[in-house]
Chains A and B, each alone.
Chain A
């Protein structure tokens, strides 16, 4: 696989979150030994739906943009080609997931009727994945076909909405924190409170339209725990957020268009995502990304098999990408957080400096500070309504 030289350069330049690397620290944080553990989950009895054990001719995958390695010259996907070479299954890879709600809105009508949507795998964020499982719009994975599932980092092994990982497997994770320009701000930023209260930052701050991200950080800043949201904490956070809007302290609520604003200096600090900051610092090395002292959020995009998807073929693919070598290959391009144990080791063969990057392989200190948002609260209509009212919808 050919890799553009600029990526190596840009990662060297990425000056984000300065905790030092150490492979033992990473492994400890990911809670694994050296990867291939024998845990009981590899042989769940009779959980396949349909029961077919033959591979289909084609596998159709719906994913977010730039979420898999690609050879920019030949425009082909090395990992997918490898999969096809090994299994004979052609892969139809469609990058049509832009936003969880949008994807769901588009497919809801068909799914609610139990109709297939023409996809074998789709990748959705935690709380949306939780909703899909809750509503029964997904098929169970064929765990027999995914022995490599045991490579899943233990931190992600058992989310509340899918405790035995029967329906999903993480694809990539990412962090939500604060991205800012230390020069313009004139110092360091360590908390959400600063964003809301520092008069210097008035009108120069943005938050995200994603409720789990924004409210997660707000609740943490208020001393609460977003992994189990308490109404009092949520209400208090909403009040503070509304005050920020009313006073003009918060300039806007954005999707990822905050990156443009930060790059141009229209805003000086933004609640944002780790992946974006990696790209922004390539052009402007002064920008920084921090997890607030009170804590940040970690989110995961998960592979699911929607109703009607080919379970065996999809599961085979999942097994394929959970091989540490393959995972490393994908990670070297995607640059989010890798959910596969052992990939850090493998990635050294591709690019040693990547193994050092704490945004791809976060160290223990970082992981200790981040929480996963309460999936039930994330889909609670009352909470969502309160939040939407604040962001102006």
Chain B
């Protein structure tokens, strides 16, 4: 009985992953396509040439680099800022809690196009030139909310007794935070960072308005779609994913065994 149940979950998980990866499989497949025209819609033939020359289309490499840089920076900053806010919200009583919550939820509810345009108007009025840094600012802005909500979910289920025990044993607040709290909420923080990264690397509308002459990967793809997205875009997407997966796999294999926190 337990055996069957055990495998039902695994089977379901596999199906769910399959569903998640299905479009990626198509993307990877079409990265090997050899279309005669500029469009990459129907299968014409197998080729490795796009993999041999992934940065062929001009501007593609710059776009991808810009996207990754912005995403890395923005998710880092947003994760730090968001985690601090989440800590405050869950742990402490303070005046203006309702207002804070409102401020956290509102960016998520705002349609991207008006948010992008309004932010641009702000930059214009203040005289800030749009480009890499304004995109960064915008991305941190909408990432914070997602990090806060995600980290709060982790903090809400957190066992305060562990912290109290640490303090009873003489640790000061900082040490307690660094040695007890942070490791235990790390999965929440990491998940928030992942979400922030994903949001940033894929953002189109807000970036469009605040990019100036900088072209990010989504902007590049939208532009290219008008005349035919080159298969190299498929290659790049696949490559990034493979590199990231590879790094994570490597870290798993290298990791020494360490006793886990609570579970």
Chain A residues at the B interface, C-beta cutoff of 8 Å: 6, 9-10, 60, 64-66, 70, 72, 75-76, 92, 94-98, 102, 105-106, 109-110, 113, 115, 118, 255-257, 259-260, 263-264, 275-276, 278-284
Q: Answer yes or no: B35 CB below 8 A from chain A CBs.
A: yes
Segment with Cβ contacts to A, from B152-160, B175-183, B216-224: B216-224
| Chain A residue with Cβ nearest B33 | A283
Complex Cα distance, B36 from A199, in Å, reads: 33
Q: Contacts A96-B213, A109-B124 known; A280 to B227 CB distance under 8 Å?
A: no
Q: How far is the CB of A113 from chain B (nearest CB, A)?
A: 7
Complex Cα distance, B15 from A191, in Å, reads: 47
Q: Contacts A281-B37, A283-B42 known; A96 to B226 CB distance under 8 Å?
A: no
Q: Is the CB of B212 within 8 A of A118?
A: yes
| Chain A residue with Cβ nearest B113 | A105
Of A115, A255, A283, which contacts B39 at CB under 8 A?
A: A283
Of B39, B57, B124, which contacts A280 at CB under 8 A?
A: B39
Q: Is the CB of A113 within 8 A of B223?
A: no
Q: Contacts A279-B37, A281-B37 known; A113 to B212 CB distance under 8 Å?
A: no
In the complex, what residues of B have CB within 8 A of residue A65's CB? 223-224, 226-227
Q: Answer yes or no: B173 CB below 8 A from chain A CBs.
A: no
Q: Contacts A106-B209, A110-B124 known; A283 to B117 CB distance under 8 Å?
A: no
Q: Is the CB of A95 within 8 A of B223?
A: yes
Of B44, B124, B219, B227, which contacts A275 at CB under 8 A?
A: B227
A-B residue pairs in contact (CB < 8 Å), sample of 9: A9-B36, A10-B37, A64-B223, A96-B223, A109-B124, A260-B39, A260-B41, A278-B37, A283-B39
In the complex, what residues of B have CB within 8 A of residue A97's CB? 223
In the complex, what residues of A have CB within 8 A of residue B228's CB? 66, 259, 279
Q: Answer yes or no: B144 CB below 8 A from chain A CBs.
A: no
**Total of A-B residue pairs, C-beta within 8 Å:** 91
Q: Answer yes or no: B208 CB below 8 A from chain A CBs.
A: yes
| Chain B residue with Cβ nearest A279 | B37
Q: Is the CB of B215 within 8 A of A94?
A: yes
In the complex, what residues of B have CB within 8 A of residue A278's CB? 37
Q: Contacts A109-B124, A283-B42 known; A10 to B36 CB distance under 8 Å?
A: yes
**Binary A-proximity of B55-99 (CB < 8 A = 1, otherwise 0):** 011110000000000000000000000000000000000000000
Q: Is the CB of A279 within 8 A of B222?
A: no
Q: How far is the CB of B82 from chain A (nearest CB, A)?
A: 28
Q: How far is the CB of A325 from chain B (nearest CB, A)?
A: 24
Q: Is the CB of B44 within 8 A of A283?
A: yes
Q: Contacts A65-B224, A65-B226, A105-B117 known; A283 to B208 CB distance under 8 Å?
A: no
Complex Cα distance, B34 from A283, in Å, reads: 10
Of B41, B44, B113, which contacts A259 at CB under 8 A?
A: B41
| Chain A residue with Cβ nearest B116 | A106
In the complex, what residues of B have CB within 8 A of residue A9's CB? 36
Of A6, A118, A264, which contacts B36 at CB under 8 A?
A: A6
In the complex, what residues of A have CB within 8 A of residue B219's CB? 96
In the complex, what residues of B have CB within 8 A of residue A94's CB? 213, 215
In the complex, what residues of B have CB within 8 A of residue A95's CB? 59, 215, 223
In the complex, what residues of B have CB within 8 A of residue A98's CB? 222-223, 226
The 3 closest A-B pairs by CB, nearest first: A282-B37, A279-B37, A263-B41
Q: How far is the CB of B173 from chain A (nearest CB, A)?
A: 47
Q: Is the CB of B227 within 8 A of A66?
A: yes
Of A96, A102, A275, A283, which contacts B41 at CB under 8 A?
A: A283
| Chain A residue with Cβ nearest B123 | A109
Q: Is the CB of B38 within 8 A of A279?
A: yes
Q: How far is the CB of B234 from chain A (nearest CB, A)?
A: 14
In the complex, what residues of A have CB within 8 A of residue B120's CB? 106, 109
Complex Cα distance, B212 from A118, in Å, reads: 9
Q: How far is the CB of A257 from chain B (nearest CB, A)?
A: 8
In the complex, what residues of B have CB within 8 A of residue A280's CB? 37, 39
Q: Is the CB of B36 within 8 A of A282?
A: yes
Q: How far is the CB of A184 from chain B (nearest CB, A)?
A: 14
**Which residues in window 164-187 of B have CB below 8 A to A?**
none
Q: Is the CB of B226 within 8 A of A75?
A: no
Q: Is the CB of B39 within 8 A of A259?
A: yes
In the complex, what residues of B have CB within 8 A of residue A279's CB? 37-39, 227-228
Q: How far is the CB of A270 from chain B (nearest CB, A)?
A: 13
Q: Answer yes or no: B225 CB below 8 A from chain A CBs.
A: yes
Q: Answer yes or no: B121 CB below 8 A from chain A CBs.
A: yes
